[in-house]
Structure formats: structure tokens, C-alpha cells
Amino acid sequence: AARAIATAGSLARPVLVGYENQALEDLLLDMRSQRRRFAVVVDDLGSVAGVVTLQGLLEALIGRAGHAA
């Protein structure tokens, strides 16, 4: 029997897309409602600008956990 070749596309899952000018609070709401731990951020032209993690987003909003002020 022929063995199927696995591809990146066969493992790909839908991803949450955020926008460079999107408010962090709005992105957090989107991440929570869609139960995502990261989002791909795109610029105005639709090019990938980077990735935001849930942890990084929370740190930006409320500071590092356990970090002395």
C-alpha cells in the first residue's frame, strides 16, 4: 500500500487574524471567544507583520505576573 505524504497543509488549522491597528483589548476578546492562544497580525496590505501570543498580550495589558512594581 502506498503511504500518503504528510504536508504542512494537512496539519494547518484556521488561525485568528489580528490587525496592526487593532486595540489590544479587542484582540483579547477575539482570542478568548475563539479560544486561541495566538494570532497572526497583518498590516494594511495583508502582509504578515508577526505573531501575538496570549501570554504576550496579557503581559502588555496587565504587566508581567510576579513582576515587582
How far apart CA 22 and CA 50 sit, in angstroms, is 14
Helix axes 24-33, 54-62, angle to 10 degrees: 140
Q: What pLDDT, on the 0 to 100 scale, is given for residue 1? A: 66
% of residues, the chain, pLDDT over 90: 77
Helix/strand/coil for 58: helix
Q: In the structure grid, which three cell numbers stand for residue 57, read together?
A: 498580550
* Region 2-30 average pLDDT: 92
How far apart CA 12 and CA 44 sit, in angstroms, is 24
How far apart CA 39 and CA 27 sit, in angstroms, is 8
Is the model's pLDDT at 4 over the cut of 90?
Answer: no
Average pLDDT, rounded, for the chain? 91
Is the model's pLDDT at 41 over the cut of 90?
Answer: yes
Give the global pTM: 0.78
